[in-house]
Structure 1
């Protein structure tokens, strides 16, 4: 099944880069720099101008590289989700749970990763077919919250985003995160055109991740 395959690829990627930018060109260059650094999960946020065009270009660029995932982020409603899916997005990420978006993603067999902060929100998301919860912002809680959530719901999959760094990556992974989302410090050099620095930071993240996983 398409959805199961993508979920497995998200877990295999381990780290999802939350890509923002002031222009379509900046976002595309940053995305290529991230992949060059060995990071294969891209979340193209809809705060980027012409975000759906960015998704289309990246999907085309990496159509021969199945390990690379191109998803859409900051998706606030089902209309935007459909635009992203038609552009070729592998998965949809929202800062909060939206039932209409969940139903649309289920219809298209595309994973939906909504942001949740409470056990009640997580329960509602799972009730509507969500497989991975975006714990957002992760910095509010810290890694220990994963075991707290898993105590009553041991089957849930959590991807913390917001506040994940090279320094606390091990704590999040060891706490049971199925994957993590990173953005700020990874993408910061792109704003000044330092895309080689983006590649370097992406490489540092992936090297650390592989060390933690014993790969």
Structure 2
């Protein structure tokens, strides 16, 4: 897929699962569980030791409908490494125009982290495919509604503070997709090996996104 097609797939899926795990065996079970529930967009953060190699391994073995991306990418050099490893999209916690250029030059979707209207506008004009609004916890869905006025065409994705229960509010406020971590990836369920709980939570998440989109 090219950059445009991958971006469309991210938006269609609607949910990006943000995963911070270094145990590849358990990670595969987590991915399989959430995929069964309908979550097929996976972000492996660079805060995980050996994240680049994990992305390389996953890219060669996950089902073709699963997108493996890299998160917490803060500079151009790291972006190049994760793309070399097979990352199909790149997410950052901050705005870095060189990182954006590195990704667009390689036809890879890039989702830089932004907080203010100025940052959002700068990132979009630099070529960002989706703007990761972060941390969304302190902003809330109303902030998205306010942004839709001056930025009706910019694709926004909140990360931080998104839950299964409130995801509908974010979608209704104008989010094209959402990033979610702990509320989807229940730590106790993973520790206990109860992956069916992750499948159930993923299914609820996807259902709530679809309901909000069709409302």
TM-score under structure 2 length normalisation = 0.91
8 A Cα contact 2:22 2:50, kept in partner: no
Superposed CA RMSD in Å reads: 1.8
Aligned to 1:57: 57
Tell me how far 1:143 sits from its aligned partner.
Answer: 0.6
When structure 1 is superposed on structure 2, of 184-193 and 124-133 the one drifting more is 184-193
4+ residue runs over 4 A deviation? none
Q: For the structure 1 residues 154 and 207, does the alpha-carbon distance in structure 2 shift closer, same or farther, using more than 3 Å as the test?
A: closer
Take 1:154 and 1:210, find their aligned partners in 2: how far apart are those partners?
A: 21
Q: 3-state DSSP class of the match of 1:11?
A: helix
Partner of residue 72 from structure 1, selected from 53, 58, 70? 70
User: Deviations along 1:48-102, whole A, 9 cap, x unmatched?
Assistant: 2221222223222235x2x321111011211111111111111100110112211
Take 1:32 and 1:82, find their aligned partners in 2: how far apart are those partners?
A: 27
Aligned to 1:144: 142
Q: For the structure 1 residues 195 and 53, does the alpha-carbon distance in structure 2 shift closer, same or farther, using more than 3 Å as the test?
A: farther
Q: For the structure 1 residues 206 and 142, does the alpha-carbon distance in structure 2 shift closer, same or farther, using more than 3 Å as the test?
A: same
TM-score under structure 1 length normalisation = 0.91
Take 1:193 and 1:114, find their aligned partners in 2: how far apart are those partners?
A: 33
Q: 3-state DSSP class of the match of 2:179?
A: strand
- Write the mapping of 1:195-214 to structure 2, written as runs, cut at 5 A: 195-214=195-214
Aligned length: 213
Take 2:206 and 2:123, find their aligned partners in 1: how far apart are those partners?
A: 29
1:39 lines up with 2:35 in the alignment: no
Gapped regions of structure 2 (runs ≥ 5)? none
Tell me how far 1:22 sits from its aligned partner.
Answer: 4.5
Aligned to 1:25: 25
Tell me how far 1:208 sits from its aligned partner.
Answer: 2.2
8 A Cα contact 1:24 1:50, kept in partner: no
8 A Cα contact 2:164 2:201, kept in partner: no
8 A Cα contact 2:45 2:72, kept in partner: yes
Q: 3-state DSSP class of the match of 1:185?
A: coil
8 A Cα contact 1:23 1:49, kept in partner: no
Take 2:191 and 2:52, find their aligned partners in 1: how far apart are those partners?
A: 20
8 A Cα contact 2:169 2:212, kept in partner: no
Q: 3-state DSSP class of the match of 2:127?
A: coil
8 A Cα contact 1:24 1:49, kept in partner: no
Take 1:61 and 1:114, find their aligned partners in 2: how far apart are those partners?
A: 27
1:123 lines up with 2:121 in the alignment: yes
